[in-house]
A = this chain, B = another copy of it.
Amino acid sequence: MQITKFKRLPKHIGIIPDGNRRWAVSHNKEKHEGYNYGIAPGFELYNLCLKHGIKELTFYGFTQDNTKRPAIQTKAFQKACVDAVMKLANRDANLLVIGNHTSPLFPKELLPFANKRVRFGKGLININFLVNYGWKWDLSTNASKNIPRIDLIIRWGGRRRLSGFLPIQSVYADFYIIDDFWPDFKENHLYEALSWYQTQDITLGG
């Protein structure tokens, strides 16, 4: 793989991996089946970010609002989050899971990683994972205080909104929207986003 040189890279990228259910429907599957197809793209992205030297990634897993969906979907995205973490445990990353772990909706398999950073392998990149996260809950508990400012947010699935994603860390973030659904992740999506990001004038309001 050819590694493009960017003149300015984001230190911290927020990932909103949306469109799993719409992808499933468009492939004649049940909606809940889509989540499992969202795991491999996360690892493709992880590998690319390691190669580019990105220091931190925050993935939107699921929110407290999301758990109002049908039980079969809720179970499917909970399982996908657990499977992703178990797979990450064999890689090189410092994992921090943020979410309300006192709720039964928080997968018990992820309790060892809740609200404290755990090193896997060589710990080459910080990975934050929002699991049973809620923006109101976060603002009232300051739960995400150890997650730094986000430079770039990439959202798959065409929606142009934050959907409650880390409101404090996102105040100055640049948004890049990809119309393809998350399970259709391609290397080129990241390149498009990074190519665009390096052209943006970052002022932080000054």
The reply to whether B174 and A164 contact each other, CB–CB distance below 8 Å, is no
Q: Which residue in B69, B164, B175 is a CB contact (below 8 Å) of A161?
A: B175
Contacts of A168 in B (CB 8 A): 139, 167
Residue of A160, A163, A168 with most partner-chain B CB within 10 A: A160
Tier of interface size on chain A: 20 to 34
Task: List residues of chain B with CB within 8 A of the CB of A200.
Answer: 159-160
A161's closest neighbor in chain B, by CB? Answer: B174
Partner of A68 from B161, B171, B206 at Cβ < 8 Å: B206
| Min CB–CB distance A106 → chain B (angstroms) | 17
- Inter-subunit contact B163/A172 (CB<8 Å): yes
CB–CB B174/A167 < 8 A: no
**Residue of A63, A68, A171, A201 with most chain B CB atoms under a 10 A cut-off:** A171
* Structural contact, B172 and A160, CB atoms closer than 8 A: no
> Which residues of chain A (145-181) have a CB below 8 Å from chain B?
159-164, 167-168, 170-176
* Of the residues B161, B167, B205, contact of A65 by C-beta under 8 Å: B205
A172 interface neighbour in B161, B173, B204, B205, Cβ under 8 Å? B161
Alpha-carbon distance between A68 and B63 when the two chains are bound, in angstroms: 37
User: How far, in angstroms, from A201 to B18 measured CA to CA in the complex?
Assistant: 13
Distance (whole angstroms) from the CB of A121 to the closest CB of chain B:
34
Interface residues of A in 54-97 (CB under 8 A from B): 63, 65-66, 68-69
- Listed by A's residue number, 22 A-B pairs whose Cβ atoms lie within 8 Å are A65-B204, A65-B205, A65-B206, A68-B206, A139-B139, A159-B174, A159-B200, A160-B174, A160-B175, A160-B200, A161-B174, A161-B175, A162-B170, A162-B171, A162-B172, A163-B172, A163-B205, A164-B172, A164-B205, A167-B168, A167-B170, A175-B175
- Going nearest first, the 8 A-B pairs with the smallest beta carbon separation are A65-B205, A167-B167, A160-B175, A164-B171, A68-B206, A161-B174, A135-B171, A63-B205
